[in-house]
Amino acid sequence: VIKVVVAGAAGRMGQTVVDAVSHADDMTLVAGVDPALGSGVEEALGDAEVLVDFTQPGAVLANVAAAIEAGVHSVIGTTGFDMAELERMCQGAAVNVLVAPNFAIGAVLMMRFAADAARHMPKAEIIELHHDTKLDAPSGTAIRTAALMADASGNAPPPIHSVRLPGLVANQEVILGELGQTLTIRHDTTSREAFMPGVLLAARRVGALERSPTVGLEHLL
Amino acid sequence: VIKVVVAGAAGRMGQTVVDAVSHADDMTLVAGVDPALGSGVEEALGDAEVLVDFTQPGAVLANVAAAIEAGVHSVIGTTGFDMAELERMCQGAAVNVLVAPNFAIGAVLMMRFAADAARHMPKAEIIELHHDTKLDAPSGTAIRTAALMADASGNAPPPIHSVRLPGLVANQEVILGELGQTLTIRHDTTSREAFMPGVLLAARRVGALERSPTVGLEHLL
Amino acid sequence: VIKVVVAGAAGRMGQTVVDAVSHADDMTLVAGVDPALGSGVEEALGDAEVLVDFTQPGAVLANVAAAIEAGVHSVIGTTGFDMAELERMCQGAAVNVLVAPNFAIGAVLMMRFAADAARHMPKAEIIELHHDTKLDAPSGTAIRTAALMADASGNAPPPIHSVRLPGLVANQEVILGELGQTLTIRHDTTSREAFMPGVLLAARRVGALERSPTVGLEHLL
Amino acid sequence: VIKVVVAGAAGRMGQTVVDAVSHADDMTLVAGVDPALGSGVEEALGDAEVLVDFTQPGAVLANVAAAIEAGVHSVIGTTGFDMAELERMCQGAAVNVLVAPNFAIGAVLMMRFAADAARHMPKAEIIELHHDTKLDAPSGTAIRTAALMADASGNAPPPIHSVRLPGLVANQEVILGELGQTLTIRHDTTSREAFMPGVLLAARRVGALERSPTVGLEHLL
């Protein structure tokens, strides 16, 4: 049984993770913490094994630092923070960190297909569409998709357009264009439950990673 | 029989208009002119009745000035020029000018529906997608749609995203968002023939307009 | 304060309605009933004023019959039942019935725009996409959209395609095609909350309808 | 220089192929034949090396039989014919046949991604949308996509919906659904030029195939 602390437990993603961990046969929820609940990460880490963090760009690195200090692995779903700083923190650490901008299997497939397609159709643009309470833009998924496409094709990363509207959950469209044709790869999230199989998989596997930080759920599939 | 001069006759839209005018029973093509063809508007206006202009932002106003001078009505499909200057030119002119950012019936309906929907769903964004050789961004259709939505709703015009890729012709999507739902109105052009019924209608009716310049094909429907 | 009974209270739509009625300042929830909860409509109607029914094709007409018998107005969100039978039941009844295949403002706008567009672009097809636990196909919204388009255009109703997949909530796309262009009007529901403003509006207004049954939320807007 | 005969040269695809072959440095157009042009395949095969066939389901097999008889390789873009019969014809033939339901690189990628995704997201449906003069339904591309997805996943082929409207060229959308999410892979063709690089590639490579008939352009990429 894996002992899990969830940071950001008062947020919508955090609440969904708390539910999912509570219902997983092979996990125990040690604590769901959140400043809004009057609780912090450090006090909760006691005998936890994994921290799952769905907080905010300004909070996540301090949480991970506390986890490393306490010998606890981290699974990070927060986006928009300083990645270079995280890389420094992970050097020489005794525990692992997995960062994923998106834990939905469909989003992981979208990123893989977009990168593959970019090799054959070099011109592309990305449109990401999210609910109007999302704090960061462009989304972490869009930034990661663009980077993967640039790596695969050897071209500059494609432009990203960010749409913010009520009624949207989380959607992304990659459009590739070529003489007389376009190829569109689109992922739509209609419920946060879409992310839970990926989050639980990450919590199970983070301890066995060979590289830390590992970026992207695709390394576990 | 209406005598028509087409400016921009070497461009793709201009060529399609030349074909359409040539095949219309109630019209005669006086001339298709274009700097690329070594011919100019002024020389051609002789006994024409209507000038149809699909040129470029830097050329259109001089063409219309020549048409007004020659007593010839103008139908303008060019976008991206200084509208205030055109308004000044039309004051006291003896002939009429019709400007339309888009002559496709589906695009006219899209603009009307977007404006109507904006009254009930105030949050919206516009995505316009065009071939990568289009000179101006945002498109004239997108700018006009945003203005119509702002007029109808009393809100600020919605943001516009411009996507430019090979393989696209001319497409626009208006997304309106509300708690738990989105409404999307999209127009896709797959061939320049889509614009011809509207261009011919404009050439037939421009002489009878009560206001000049009139902006938008919807005033003729 | 309007006294409301909700039938189908154990279903997902019914639960959402129970919540919305409970939180509405001008309404009181008399009862939420459901065979799955061991409770029936008849016993609950006592001093209710409005029945809101989100049940199943085989149950709704008996519920409405009980409501008419008890002098209670009905708001029906259930689809797929025998409409002619409902019309017969409403003849001479002392109370009113409102039926709407869709209570979302965006869906009502989609239907209105589709009917308007069908007058100008006669060729069309409808694609409706729902979660794979939806019982009826085509959806009531699609059938109603097709009927409104046929009425407006004088043509046969457009074909309807029904897609059923997990991960979808409720979406509909109307595609109209013309030489060189298509116009697409799409409504996407991401949460059942989208329907609540329309359901509450219907509960407030059903008593004042001039015609019973009235079909379509648009008559209240 | 490869000597090519194009069958179906009076059709829209055939005309585009005639143009493309004529402009290819490494090919010569021996003849473009078509019943509408008063010419047949057999007479034209003389010293040709490759037959490219974009005709109709009722004509293609006789054309290929003539090509085999004359020692000419065949590239077939026609769909909707009896595949089993073609397999029989190819047994023991001295020349090769390549059949592809779609020669656009984007369509080939769509099929590959759909098959790959079907392994991870087993529930799917296909919507194919074409101009209203297309003779067969479902499209060959849709049938092939469904077969590839079934092969990859071990599940039944997904349902196919066929939309036929003016204003469409050739589009296909594969939607895969999973708890809380959907993944959509869409290919849009806006001009027949999209197919030409694939058709020319096939004409260059058909002679070197190890298996005949080979089905799908992906075997050449």
b/e sequence A166-175, b meaning 16+ C-beta within 10 Å: bbbbbbbbbb
A71 and A46 in contact (C-beta within 8 Å)? no
Q: Which two tokens stand for residue D203?
A: 């004409």
The yes-or-no verdict on residue C47 having pLDDT over 90 is no
The yes-or-no verdict on residue C112 having pLDDT over 90 is yes
Minimal CA separation from C58 to chain B, in Å: 28
- A213 upstream amide cis, omega within 30 of 0: yes
Least-confidence region, from A135-139, D168-172, D176-180: A135-139
pLDDT tens readout for residues C183-211: 999 999 999 899 999 999 999 999 999 99
Q: What is the pLDDT of residue B136?
A: 85
What backbone torsions phi and psi does residue B169 show, to the nearest 5 degrees? -100, -85
b/e sequence B181-211, b meaning 16+ C-beta within 10 Å: bbbbbbbbbbbbbbbbbbbbbbbbbbeebee
Q: Is C213 helix (H, G, I), strand (E, B) or coil?
A: coil
In whole angstroms, what is the distance from residue A123 CA to residue D177 CA? 28
B121, B123, B125, best to mutate vs chain A, most A CBs in 10 Å: B125
Question: Residue B36 burial by CB count (10 A; 0-12/13-18/19+): exposed, middle or buried?
Answer: exposed
Minimal CA separation from C97 to chain A, in Å: 30
In whole angstroms, what is the distance from residue C163 CA to residue C146 CA? 16
In whole angstroms, what is the distance from residue A184 CA to residue A189 CA? 16
How would DSSP label each residue in A12-75? HHHHHHHHHHHH-TTEEEEEEE-GGGT--HHHH-TT-SEEEE---TTTHHHHHHHHHHTT-EEE
For chain C, the residue count is 221
- What integer best gives the mean pLDDT of chain A? 96
In whole angstroms, what is the distance from residue C18 CA to residue C30 CA? 10
Return the closest-CA partner of residue B41 out of B74, B87, B83, B19: B74
A183, A191, A192, best to mutate vs chain D, most D CBs in 10 Å: A183
- What integer best gives the mean pLDDT of chain D? 96
- Give catalytic status of residue D3 as yes or no: no
User: What are the helix (H) ranges across chain D?
Assistant: 12-23, 41-44, 60-69, 83-90, 105-120, 140-153, 196-205
Instruction: Give percent of chain D above pLDDT 70.
Output: 100
In whole angstroms, what is the distance from residue C144 CA to residue C101 CA? 7
Question: Residue B156 burial by CB count (10 A; 0-12/13-18/19+): exposed, middle or buried?
Answer: exposed
Rounded to the nearest 10 degrees, the angle between the axes of helix D196-205 and helix D12-23 is 60
What backbone torsions phi and psi does residue A177 show, to the nearest 5 degrees? -125, 145
User: What are the helix (H) ranges across chain C?
Assistant: 12-23, 41-44, 60-69, 83-90, 105-120, 140-153, 196-205
In whole angstroms, what is the distance from residue A108 CA to residue D121 CA? 12
The yes-or-no verdict on residue C221 having pLDDT over 90 is no
Q: Tell me the β-bridge partners of C74.
A: C51, C97
What is the amino acid identity at position D221?
Answer: L
In whole angstroms, what is the distance from residue D53 CA to residue D206 CA? 13
In chain A, which residue's Cα lies nearest the Cα of C169? Answer: A190
In whole angstroms, what is the distance from residue C74 CA to residue C54 CA? 11
Q: What is the CB-side half-sphere exposure of residue B51 using CA atoms within 13 A? A: 36
Return the closest-CA partner of residue D60 out of D72, D49, D75, D50: D75
pLDDT tens readout for residues C149-189: 999 999 999 999 999 999 999 999 999 999 999 999 999 99
Neighbours of chain A (3+ CB pairs under 8 A): B, C, D
How confident is residue C64, by pLDDT bands cut at 50, 70 and 90? Answer: very high
In whole angstroms, what is the distance from residue D161 CA to residue C163 CA? 9
In this structure, how many other beta carbons lie within 10 angstroms of the beta carbon of residue A100? Answer: 26
The yes-or-no verdict on residue A170 having pLDDT over 90 is yes
Q: What is the pLDDT of residue C121?
A: 95
**Between chain A and chain C, how many beta carbons pairs sit less than 8 Å apart?**
13
pLDDT tens readout for residues D90-125: 999 999 999 998 999 999 999 999 999 999 999 999
Q: Which two tokens stand for residue A179?
A: 């003489």
pLDDT tens readout for residues D80-89: 899 999 999 9
Check D134, D161, D187, D219 and give the catalytic one.
D134
How would DSSP label each residue in D186-201? EEEE-SGGGGHHHHHH
Neighbours of chain B (3+ CB pairs under 8 A): A, C, D
In whole angstroms, what is the distance from residue B109 CA to residue B164 CA? 23
In this structure, how many other beta carbons lie within 10 angstroms of the beta carbon of residue A46? Answer: 12
Residues of A labelled as active-site residues: 130, 134
Question: Cβ–Cβ of A104/D182 closer than 8 Å?
Answer: no
In whole angstroms, what is the distance from residue C180 CA to residue A203 CA? 52
In whole angstroms, what is the distance from residue B81 CA to residue C184 CA? 29
Q: Which two tokens stand for residue B45?
A: 């206006």
For chain A, the residue count is 221
- What integer best gives the mean pLDDT of chain C? 95
Return the closest-CA partner of residue C128 out of B198, D21, D175: D175
In whole angstroms, what is the distance from residue C151 CA to residue C157 CA? 8
In this structure, how many other beta carbons lie within 10 angstroms of the beta carbon of residue C194? Answer: 26
Residues 6 or more apart whose CB falls under 8 angstroms from that of D210 comprise none
The yes-or-no verdict on residue A7 having pLDDT over 90 is yes
The yes-or-no verdict on residue A221 having pLDDT over 90 is no
User: Which residues of C are less than 8 Å from A167 in CB distance?
Assistant: 106, 188, 190, 194
Return the closest-CA partner of residue B130 out of B199, B56, B187: B187
B129 and A177 in contact (C-beta within 8 Å)? no
Task: Give residue ranges of C with CB < 8 Å to any B CB.
Answer: 104-107, 109-110, 113, 116-117, 120-121, 176, 178-195, 197, 221
Of A124, A125, A167, which is closest to B179 when you measure between CB atoms? A167
- Helical (H) or strand (E) element with B151: helix B140-153
Cα–Cα distances in angstroms (integers) from residue C183 to residues B127, B171, B174, C107, C138, in the given order: 15, 10, 12, 16, 22
Rounded to an integer, the average pLDDT of D27-54 is 95
In whole angstroms, what is the distance from residue D149 CA to residue D116 CA? 8
Tokens 């960010």 -> residue: A162
Rounded to an integer, the average pLDDT of A120-133 is 96
Q: What is the pLDDT of residue D136?
A: 85
Q: Which two tokens stand for residue D149?
A: 């997805």
In whole angstroms, what is the distance from residue D56 CA to residue A124 CA? 35
A217 and A103 in contact (C-beta within 8 Å)? yes
Q: What is the pLDDT of residue A4?
A: 98
In whole angstroms, what is the distance from residue C104 CA to residue C13 CA? 13
Q: Are strands C73-76 and C123-130 parallel, antiparallel or unpaired?
A: unpaired
C124 and C89 in contact (C-beta within 8 Å)? no
Q: What is the pLDDT of residue C4?
A: 98
In whole angstroms, what is the distance from residue B211 CA to residue B216 CA? 12
Minimal CA separation from B28 to chain A, in Å: 33
Q: Which two tokens stand for residue B220?
A: 């003729």
Q: What is the pLDDT of residue A164?
A: 98
What backbone torsions phi and psi does residue D9 show, to the nearest 5 degrees? -70, -10
In tens digits, chain B (221 residues) has pLDDT values of: 999 999 999 999 999 999 999 999 999 999 999 999 999 999 999 889 999 999 999 999 999 999 999 999 999 999 889 999 999 999 999 999 999 989 999 999 999 999 999 999 999 999 999 999 988 899 999 999 999 999 999 999 999 999 999 999 999 999 999 999 999 999 999 999 999 999 999 999 999 999 999 999 989 88
pLDDT tens readout for residues B53-69: 999 999 999 999 999 99
Q: Which two tokens stand for residue C119?
A: 């007058």
